[in-house]
Structure 1
């Protein structure tokens, strides 16, 4: 479960993540411009996993619920990345576009808001694209401008398919690696060479939600 290390790489990184998802049996149940954000002290922009209903998903909600008491005195808003989260994994590029647009909108309209990017499973692959792709490609059409990069306080991903190939965000993103927690449950086959598919749906019981929230809170508090 790599946490932190240290230019973003092209969108081929997303193609690798999509390939891993397509060949792994994931056991979990059109990008648009983001509306004007309500300015909170912290905004968590989170991409849900495959087949989860619209919203930030169960892992995302657990992450936010755990984070809030760790940043007492700060308001924590959420934004659910809009994308299909379907078995057509290449459409995750739409999620990356929406996540990036939301981060850019929040950075522009809420200059004091600290931004946390997060994702679970296919949602983690969405974050991979935003964090590693400085140019458009493969359906991703809203790369983060360099000026927005410092506005991302932290990144936390769970069950990241790229980690299965030894390419966690802590290693693949020079811009964000030192601010990133790339967390993989023991024997989760989506993010490791393990074979316990149940591990992929046990993040709430694994202790990694707590670890991820602590990581984000540490970086938020440092920047407050």
Structure 2
């Protein structure tokens, strides 16, 4: 294939990312990821911030993972300062998929405690994927400070993030199990249950934790 032909195909793919049809945008993102080209990166990052369709966003993320991290990561880190919540959330999601730890310093406490649940949840997943060895306990403390906050979906995401850090979370969980706030105690107990029994459902774990808190017991006391 000649270079002019390649350029024409590239331009069509880039134009397709802005098409009014989500199926066309999906195919365009697939085409861009199938034939990675540094010229695509800015447009992919730009579309991540505004793309309304979940499946297209996932394909945009996949397309970005197909490009060199040395070129994509700095662009995505820049998006973490955006005022647009979707830009921050999708950039964090993509960074977690790329898995390049040069992005770790950009996963700030502000992102981990973002007022927008979707941004915070994406930050938790990215942090767990990127945290350097030896810093897991410190991350666990930041995450555990949010035990008991949000709805069930947010709480489940936080539990999963903590559990992904492994046994290092236990000192922090034990402290939360004796917190004066019942919701924090419940969430900590449920998280400990899921750590011990990954097959236990979150709803069941929470309901069990509620009963234990009502009885004034902790997970260690059974």
Return the structure number with greater strand share. 1
Return the structure number with greater helix share. 2
Query: Does the TM-score normalized on the shorter chain lie above 0.5?
Result: no
